[in-house]
Amino acid sequence: MKERRSIAEFKFKPSLSLEFEIISIKDLYSKNKKQITLPHRANFYHIIWIEKGSPTHLVDFHTVKVPRNSILFVNKLQVHLFDSSEKYDGKLILFTDRFFCKNQDDIDFLNTTVLFNDLLETVPLKLDGISNSLQSLIQLVGAELASDDDPIKRNVLRNYLHAFLLLCDREKRRQGFRQIPKGADRDYSMLFSSLVNEHFSKIRSVYEYAEMMHVPEKRLSRATAHVLGKSPKELISERVLLEIKRLLVHTNKSIKEIGFDLGFNEPSNFIKYFRQQAGQTPSEFREKHLGELSKKYHS
């Protein structure tokens, strides 16, 4: 019988009640190399700080070269995998919404910071200007983690992490990336993107998303066109297409199963939809990208 292949899904270690951890990449490899070098997604955030070497990370079909002394931020539920080479090292900072979000302002920060929500590209943050400040914060975090538990420990750690992210966010904006101007259009676009990411498998109607956001469809369309150069309908299709691609390449589900999982009752309609969006059949896409993935990461 053919072995079932799927996208591994990781939850935060139940033994770590704080839902916050800093570990070395070397230690991670020694314990979990097989799991992390295969496609996976987690219900928590990754801050991947490379201090030695220059690995290649794969994040949702984007090949990202991460230079020494830089950080790659991976949002929760993104499908990614680590470089299978062990010629690099650094720190991995992991945390959940439950750890970080004490109030609505914290939720809004994680949903809007360019670190985890760059709507335009996936680029590592170079740390030349803030490395020492971040190292100092990490030392404080380490000391706090090693201290005895008390009622304010979680808040202290949360504040250190918040300061770390704020410094990184500010530095990202200084480095000339393609920044989306602040304003209602950006806020609407980010909220829409977040809602689509949560509901795309069941909701494909622009009207329903506009209703959730309490804005007219025309206002939503104007916002996404201005910020991203795309209509809400196009963005919904892109998100559906991304999930299809993930399942085609990272699982061995049948074409029929994948179509059914994403709301296509007829395989012919699913194949037609994918061909219109991707310019090739699901089978052609699967064959091409499985070969590329094997060459890049497991040669």
**Quick one: pLDDT at residue 16?**
87
Residues 19 and 115 in one domain: yes
pLDDT band at 123 (very low <50, low <70, confident <90, very high): confident
pLDDT band at 176 (very low <50, low <70, confident <90, very high): low
* Residue 121 predicted with pLDDT over 80: no
* Residue 140 predicted with pLDDT over 50: yes
- Flag whether 179 is in a domain: no
C-alpha to C-alpha distance for 291 and 96, rounded to whole angstroms: 34
* Residue 177 predicted with pLDDT over 80: no
**Quick one: pLDDT at residue 1?**
45
Number of other residues whose CB lies within 10 A of the CB of residue 145: 15
192-228 pLDDT tens trace: 988 998 899 889 999 999 999 999 999 999 999 998 8
C-alpha to C-alpha distance for 293 and 299, rounded to whole angstroms: 9
57-80 pLDDT tens trace: 989 888 899 999 999 999 998 999
Among the listed residues 63, 60, 54, the one whose alpha carbon sits nearest the alpha carbon of residue 25: 54
pLDDT above 90 coverage of the chain, percent: 61
Residues 167 and 258 in one domain: no
C-alpha to C-alpha distance for 222 and 68, rounded to whole angstroms: 40
Phi, psi of 141 (to 5 degrees): -60, -45
Sheet holding 20-24, edge to edge: 20-24, 89-95, 45-52, 70-74, 125-126
4-42 pLDDT tens trace: 678 889 999 988 889 999 999 999 988 998 889 888 999
**Quick one: pLDDT at residue 120?**
60
Residues 26 and 65 in one domain: yes
For residues 11 and 42, the answer to whether their CB atoms sit within 8 Å is: yes
Among the listed residues 106, 152, 125, 149, the one whose alpha carbon sits nearest the alpha carbon of residue 67: 125
Of the residues 174, 192, 216, the one at which a domain ends: 174
Buried b (16+ CB within 10 A) or exposed e, 68-89: ebbbbbbbbebbbbbbbeeebb
For residues 7 and 39, the answer to whether their CB atoms sit within 8 Å is: yes
Residues 197 and 162 in one domain: no
Residues 169 and 276 in one domain: no
For residues 169 and 134, the answer to whether their CB atoms sit within 8 Å is: no
Among the listed residues 107, 118, 96, the one whose alpha carbon sits nearest the alpha carbon of residue 169: 118
pLDDT band at 175 (very low <50, low <70, confident <90, very high): confident
Rounded to a whole number of angstroms, the distance between the first and last alpha carbons of the chain is: 26
* Residue 101 predicted with pLDDT over 90: yes
Residues 164 and 37 in one domain: yes
* Residue 298 predicted with pLDDT over 80: no
- Flag whether 136 is in a domain: yes
C-alpha to C-alpha distance for 236 and 212, rounded to whole angstroms: 15
Structural domain of residue 290, as residue ranges? 184-297
pLDDT above 70 coverage of the chain, percent: 92
- Flag whether 1 is in a domain: no
* Residue 180 predicted with pLDDT over 90: no
Q: What is the mean pLDDT of residues 142-152?
A: 92
Residues 170 and 247 in one domain: no
Residues 54 and 105 in one domain: yes
CATH number of 271's domain: 1.10.10.60
pLDDT band at 2 (very low <50, low <70, confident <90, very high): low
Identity of residue 19 = E
Domain count, the chain: 2
Residues 45 and 121 in one domain: yes
CATH number of 155's domain: 2.60.120.280
* Residue 87 predicted with pLDDT over 70: yes
